[in-house]
Structure 1
Amino acid sequence: MAQGRQFNNSTKTLKRNFSEHTQSSSYAKRQKLLKHKASLPIASVEKRLVEEVQKHDTLIIVGETGSGKTTQLPQFLYNAGFCGNGKLVGITQPRRVGTVSVAKRVAEECGVALGEKVGYSIRFEDVTSTSTRIKYMTDGLLLREALLDPYLSRYAVIIVDEVHERTVHTDVLLGLLKNVQNARSKSVNNDQQLEKESADQCLGFLKRCQRRSPLKLIIMSASLDARIFSQYFGGAKAVHIQGRQFPVDMFYTYHPPQYYLDASLTAILQIHLEEDPGDILIFLTGQEEIESLEKLVKDSLKQLPENNKKLIVVPIFSSLPSERQMRVFVPAPPGFRKVILATNIAETSVTIPGIKYVVDPGFVKARFYDPNKRLESLIVIPISKAQALQRSGRAGRDGPGKCFCLYPENEFEKLEESPKPEIKRCNLSNIILQLKALGVDDVVGFGFIEKPSRQSFVKSLEELILLGALTDEFKLSNPVGRQMACLPLDPIYSKALILSSEFNCLEEMLIAVSMLSVKSIFFTPSEKLEEVRTVNKCFESPEGDHLTLVNVYRASNEILEKWSGDSGLRTENHYKIFRKWCKKHFIDSRSLRHAHDIHSQLRRNVEQMGLRIASCGDDLLQFRRCLAASFFCNVALKQPDGIYRTLANDPMNELAVHIHPSSSIQGKPECVVFDELVETSKKYIRHTTMIDYLWLAELAPQRYALENQV
């Protein structure tokens, strides 16, 4: 008994010591965070910024990378009382990863659990509560919120961050917020006058309301030509904040290199052999370049003396499995240096500590959409000045740094000020549908900062009419168009879910759409192509990739259900088994788990819409017929020479295309539907499934007439 008491006392002592250690560690971390906050350039102008926001309904803030604007300004506004009466400060970001990481950081600085005072919302994921007052979200998410609350009445202040990236959602959001600001500032005693004004503002839904508090709007960027946005918002004031915390020395080449990958290799080795300790970050255009340079660096290291081989190569790109992406944050062992090979994901979305040297070849891969051919091209183009400044700023976060630009200094002066706005190079169908749902009838006349081409509007409107989302008079159709607008998906996916209820395969379509809504499920290292294909034979469907995705999802669901048992509760241990299974099959576990979350969310959406959820089981004929009825705009027909040709209203816009090498489809079926058409080295159709050509006249008569069948 005495020994038992002694054991219990020892246990209590251990628990107390552990608790004291945890509290001490937490206190030390908190003190470090507070010290870092106080050292940020923005800390010295807190009072001035708050006063400017109080004086002006619209304010433009330009603060270079490292100034602390994204994390600190929302806290300043909260502390100044802008969140009274339950109001929120909302901050939009162009990317999901940036939204989540910044929200986590600010929650840590505030000493609160994420989802309480500080939270975030992204598509299919909401980590907020009734106590949330500082809310980070993607710009697209705030657009969708406006469907339910046209005045965005919960928000006292909205901060639109990273405006220089000019994403399509950011541009549309700025136009919408300009209208909401005007509407909230109006007295509504005269309903007739308000109705006239709201029509002038392209907001037909703003007719009857009470007087509302003005909306404070802050436009924020690391590098921005403030004049454009100042003029757009009627002469809004611009404030500049001191930039990066540490100086960055810039170095340029005398002449443009003929092959920038070779020049990149030379720069990496030169820095490694001649410069002081510190990690290297190099910007490349995609996975293929990154894997090529990774091999070149590793081969070169083998030829160096033993004491010069202490260089660790770490890649990061969007389709890399998340656990491998996290390696960039792990410090190099003592005496070693890291070289991080990254896409533009590292420009703004991810901040990697320890970077002292940046190598910038000056190129980026961008998407351009041809509305006539419905072709999306991935093209390598020169970066803009804004992107160049963002990249160099990565070297000055932790101390003085150096940026090695692999182009002459006079070439920098020739670069565009900012990237070409996405709204001028993307498919507008989704945006038009959202604007229609918001009550904007005249989408062409909407107040865009820079208006897309008329051809882009025409082709997107034609597509929405074919899908049944709009009437021939360009009005939102009822109920299909309104149902499509309620789903947080591209119009073609929304239509597929609605139709699949009639084809008794909504369960399978939910799976397919969920899997297509995340980044690539499969991770295929270039050196293991055959191994990946062999391992994943068990999932592959010879009839097409949509069926393969259904097979992968079903198999992963069986793993989770097997280990969670009858209770259905899934613990972290279950997901550990899930991750192990994914690794074995070269599947990105985070992407697949995200697909499961999306599936759950979409299932709730369609249940609320009253759609009947049924499964076609192993007989996937109805599923393929439903794909034909939904993806009828994306059809390719095999020609006598074996090459596929897309089908278009105008034969001049039909394209010769190839099924992507990653497809599981076997042989060369006569006719296929596809998810996307992308041009890289060739024009490829991705995510293809075979269909019967004769189905088209039956299932999509609005697009294919019987007399055209051969």
Structure 2
Amino acid sequence: MPSMASSNSSDAAKINQGTKSDFIPRRQKIEQHRKNLPIAAVEKRLLEEVSNNDVLIIVGETGSGKTTQLPQYLFNGGFCRNGGIIGITQPRRVAAVTVAKRVAEECGVPLGQKVGYAVRFDDVTSSSTRIKYMTDGLLLREALLDPYLTKYSVIIVDEAHERTVHTDVLLGLLKTVQKTRSQGASDMLNNDHSKAENSMLLAKENDGQCTNVEKHRRGKKLSPLKLIIMSASLDAKIFSEYFGGARAVHVQGRQYPVDMLYTYQPETDYIDAALITIFQIHLEEGPGDILVFLTGQEEIESIQRLVQERLPKLPESKRKLLVIPIFASLPSEKQMKVFMPAPIGFRKVILATNIAETSVTIPGIKYVVDPGMVKVRTYDASTGIEPLIIVKTSKAQALQRSGRAGREGPGKCYRLYPENEFYKLKDSTTPEIKRCNLSNVILQLKALGIDDIVGFDFLEEPDRMAIIKSMELLFLLGALTDESKLSDPVGHQMARLPLDPIYSKALIVASQFNCLEEMLIVVAMLSVESIFYAPREKLEESRTALRSFSSPEGDHLTLLNVYRASEEFFEKSKLVSGNEKAEKNLRKWCKENFINSRSLKHARDIHSQIRKNVEQMGLRVTSCGDDMLPLRRCLAASFFLNAALKQPDGTYRALSSGLMVQIHPSSVLFRMKPECIIFDELVRTNQNYVRNVTRIDFLWLAELAPQCYALQE
């Protein structure tokens, strides 16, 4: 059993939430809850600060109520008086959606009217929306159509401490937009625009039909933009300095005392230490659920199995422990189990990835077990590989995790490392912009008219080599000209699609290969979390189910088969039972076939949205039917940078990087070893693996991508 030392490091005051009887109407309970939030005490002061400062940084601890309440305070304070919108960005779509639903309920309005949300492939807003939650990436895309974001009076960048690549780029863009709007825009009509157009815009405005953008094209003065940066990290200095010494204010969170317990010695096996600590808490501590942070699905399923194996060995009265996993690719109906209270007399132990750090709040947690590790995706510009590696958490992450034990009452956090190790951790996580492929970011910036990428005012400079490699990739895909400008039409078309550049290219090429219908499905399926769900206890059954969809040509065609089979099943079911019953039947079909119904639904939504996108762009949506040769050739013409050739020893050499790789065990081609393949992604776990693989003819590469490959004599 890990020997733990106690260190009570929580200095936050305990705040009495108060309790109300169950018969009080829900509306009254909601109002009481809002009044009890720590941020309610400083509502007036916050409105004054926003009025007096064009840029304001708010540091608010988790649980303070800043995300749900501040937009409502601003709305009630008149910041939407002239029809402007309060926009709130979130790094994760799950947060944007769930918070918007909560705020709509608090306001007593249907979602999509006064309060709405917009995330990639899902827009629940209307012309009456005044409080709009969205992902930071979506606001970046809005800037393509409206460079000055004229419909927004206030923009709140929430969870800025997470430092996602979209957040960092958005801050750079907003810095320019905010400055321009504060100064007021000059006449944006080019000199060669006729007086007739100006008169036409004036006439439209007089008729009340003139849009914001058109008003500003007539040279009207842009209204100032209020910009609020919200962070849960106590270090606001980097944001304040970036915005020229902007004012920062602190909002106290609701945090009960949390006892910190450390091990006396470093743990050689944190999985084993976590397992022992779960039973230590269960057998020795009072009531309350346990939240254990792990790095991924494999670790979670391993501990889940070990806990369930050991439970029968405990005295019967001590066996009431319910193990519930939560990770991104878990089907949504299984994810929802973490929010359900445990049966009377039972204790829940929730095994979670870092999805539980900030994205979701799980009620009932009193004990947190933190091994101090996290899995992150990094990018090596020299090889193009994006390995998933396990690293130590930052101090900021460790604090977020421990805070989960003190949301509803005093709690305990078991850190599975010595206390002196905590002080050696990095203060915050390395910003994503320093560890990701920048090709999508560069494409977006080019589309916004920002051609000098190196000179862009980033919060922190990305690696110069990463910029160069990403520019090379875009050039080879045909998105950039020799002068590094967006090409016409391919570069502009790619920028219009809310997808990874390679996927955008695949759709554009597919219209020429007469297989756009099939490529739309493939791209939609590649854009979601794992489609197949293979629980360890039913591994053989899930493999048998997968074989029924498998294509001997590879994974892309297998995904196409799954989608087509699900659509055929759904349409037949709809004819017999109607739409609602058909949806229910489809979820049952997914379960029987070990398919993640949440991922499949998301893929169907994405398919619908990107189909509209390509149709608006004028691309021909045609099908190659059952002849998969055009689709495979199209994959080679789009994914040519992700090609690999079989070597004499059975491994593969990735042609663009020279790296030795292996086909991932989850691939239908894992045992087949075709001569030449294209792949969707290259990841490093214990080895270099290529995932989502399709068989191609080696000679196609020189034919379809001569800019990259030439036939050797």
TM-score (norm 2): 0.92
Partner of 2:542: 532
- Counterpart of 1:699 in structure 2 is 704
Shift of the 659–624 alpha-carbon distance from structure 1 to 2, 3 Å rule, reads: same
The reply on whether 1:588 has 2:596 as its aligned counterpart is yes
2:638 corresponds to: 630
Query: 2:105 corresponds to which residue?
Result: 108
| Paired residues for 1:450-599 under 5 Å | 450-565=460-575, 571-599=579-607
Gaps of 5+ in 1: 1-23, 195-205
- Taking the aligned partners of 1:142 and 1:63, their CA distance within structure 2 comes to 23
2:65 aligned residue: 68
Tell me if structure 2 keeps the 8 A contact 1:40–1:245.
no
Q: Which residue of 2 aligns with 1:683?
A: 688
2:667 to 663, 668, 690: 663
Letter of the aligned partner of 1:541 in structure 2?
Answer: S
Higher deviation after alignment, 425-434 or 210-219:
210-219
Query: Secondary structure at 1:688's aligned position in 2?
Result: strand
CA distance in 2, matches of 1:86, 1:517: 35
Superposition deviation, residue 170 in structure 1: 0.3
Measure how far apart 1:305 and its partner are.
0.2
Verify the 8 A CA contact 1:115 1:127 in the aligned structure 2.
yes
Q: Which residue type is aligned with residue 654 of structure 1? A: G
Query: Aligned pair 1:36/2:33, yes or no?
Result: yes
Code of the aligned partner of 1:107: A
Name the SS for the 1:313 alignment partner: strand
Alpha-carbon offset, residue 409 of structure 1:
1.5
Can you list the C-alpha shifts for 1:414-452, whole angstroms capped at 9, x where unaligned? 111110000000000000000000000101110101111
Whether contact under 8 Å (1:41, 1:245) holds in the other structure is no
Structure-2 separation of matches of 1:587 and 1:438: 39
Q: 1:164 touches 1:224 (CA, 8 Å); kept in 2?
A: no
Aligned to 1:15: none
Number of aligned pairs?
668
Q: CA offsets per residue over residues 359-401 of structure 1, 9 Å max, x none?
A: 1111100011111211011111011111111111111111111
Q: Is the 8 A contact 1:560 1:570 kept in 2?
A: no
Instruction: Give the equivalent residue in structure 2 for 1:5.
Output: none
The residue number in structure 1 matching 2:207 is none
Query: CA separation of 1:570/1:250 partners in 2, compared to 1, >3 Å: closer, same or farther?
Result: farther
- Matching residue of 2:262: 252
Please state whether the residue corresponding to 1:347 is helix, strand or coil.
Answer: helix
Task: Judge conservation of contact 1:638–1:669 (CA < 8 Å) in 2.
Answer: yes
* Residue identity in the other structure for 1:278: G
Q: Separation in 1 of the partners of 2:445 and 2:152? A: 20
Change (3 A) 1:262 1:127: same
Quote the Cα distance in structure 1 between the aligned partners of 2:293 and 2:186: 56
Q: SS of the counterpart of 2:250?
A: strand
Q: Could you list the per-position Cα deviations for residues 687-707 of structure 1 after superposition, in whole angstroms to 9, with x for gaps in the alignment?
A: 00000000111100110113x
Say if 2:189 and 2:218, in contact at 8 Å, map to a contact too: no
Q: Which residue of 2 aligns with 1:199?
A: none
Pairing 1:1-20 to 2, within 5 Å after superposition? none
Confirm or deny: 8 A CA contact 1:223 1:389 kept in the other structure. no
Q: Does structure 2 conserve the Cα–Cα contact (< 8 Å) formed by 1:659 and 1:685?
A: yes
2-structure distance, mates of 1:118, 1:692: 52
Q: Which digits, 9 at most, give the CA deviation of each residue in 1:638-697, with x for residues without a partner?
A: 01111101002xxxx411101011111261111000000000111100000000000111
Q: Deviations over 1:35-82 (max 9, x none)?
A: 111111111001101110010011111111111111111111111111
Counterpart selection for 1:226 from 225, 232, 236:
236
Local SS of the residue matching 1:100:
helix
Secondary structure, counterpart of 1:340 in structure 2? strand
Opposite residue 632 of structure 1, the aligned amino acid is F
Letter in 2 for 1:120: Y
Q: What secondary structure sits across from 2:376 in the alignment?
A: strand
Q: What is the SS of the residue equivalent to 1:185?
A: helix
Q: What is the rounded CA distance, in whole Å, between the counterparts of 2:291 and 2:177 in structure 1? A: 41
| Residues 189, 209 of structure 1: alpha-carbon distance in 2 compared, 3 angstrom cutoff | closer
3-state SS of the aligned residue for 1:492? helix
Distance 1:545 1:113 in 2: 42
* 1:110-125 paired onto structure 2 within 5 Å: 110-125=107-122
Deviating more after overlay: 140-149 vs 237-246 = 237-246
**1:122-521 → structure 2 map (5 Å cutoff):** 122-189=119-186, 209-521=219-531
Task: Determine helix, strand or coil for the equivalent of 1:539.
Answer: coil
Matching residue's letter, 1:705: A
CA–CA distance in structure 2, aligned partners of residues 384 and 518 of structure 1: 28
Name the CA distance, whole Å, in 2 between partners of 1:189 and 1:425. Answer: 39
CA distance in 2, matches of 1:548, 1:694: 23
- Looking at structure 1, the residues matched to 611 and 347 of structure 2 have their Cα atoms a distance apart, in angstroms, of 47
Rate the CA distance shift 1:79–1:621 in 2: closer, same or farther, 3 A.
same
Does structure 1 conserve the Cα–Cα contact (< 8 Å) formed by 2:187 and 2:217? no
Unaligned runs of 5+ residues in structure 2 are 1-20, 192-215
Question: 1:50 — aligned with what?
Answer: 47
Tell me the CA shift for residue 210 of structure 1: 2.4
Q: Percent identity between the aligned chains?
A: 70
Aligned partner of residue 417 in structure 2, secondary structure: coil
Amino acid at match of 2:314: L
Is contact 2:136–2:166 with CA below 8 Å preserved after alignment? yes
- The answer to whether the aligner puts 1:604 opposite 2:612 as a matched pair is yes
Match of 1:657, SS state, is strand
Return the alpha-carbon distance in structure 1 between the equivalents of residues 317 and 190 of structure 2.
Answer: 78
| Cα pair distance change 1:187/1:161, threshold 3 Å | closer
8 Å CA contact 2:633, 2:696 repeated in 1: yes
State whether residues 184 and 224 of structure 2, in contact with CA within 8 Å, keep that contact through their aligned partners in structure 1: no
Q: CA deviation at 1:191?
A: 7.1
SS in 1 for 2:378: strand
Residue type at the aligned position of 1:210: K
**Structure 1 residue 26, shift from structure 2 partner:** 10
The root-mean-square deviation of aligned C-alpha atoms, in Å, is 1.8
What SS does structure 2 have at the residue aligned with 1:473?
A: coil
Check conservation: 1:310, 1:337, Cα contact below 8 A: yes
Distance in 2, matches of 1:561 and 1:80, equals 50
Q: Does 1:644 align with 2:655?
A: no
Distance 1:572 1:27, change over 3 A: farther
CA separation of 1:657/1:209 partners in 2, compared to 1, >3 Å: closer, same or farther?
Answer: farther
Q: Partners of 2:271 and 2:674 in 1: how far apart? A: 39
- Which digits, 9 at most, give the CA deviation of each residue in 1:188-232, with x for residues without a partner? 4477999xxxxxxxxxxx998421111111111111421111000
Partner of 2:15: none
Q: Which residue of 1 aligns with 2:5?
A: none
Closer, same or farther: CA 670–208 of 1 in aligned 2, 3 Å = farther
d(CA) in 1 for partners of 2:219, 2:309: 68
Which letter maps to 1:438?
A: L
- The SS at the match of 1:61 is strand
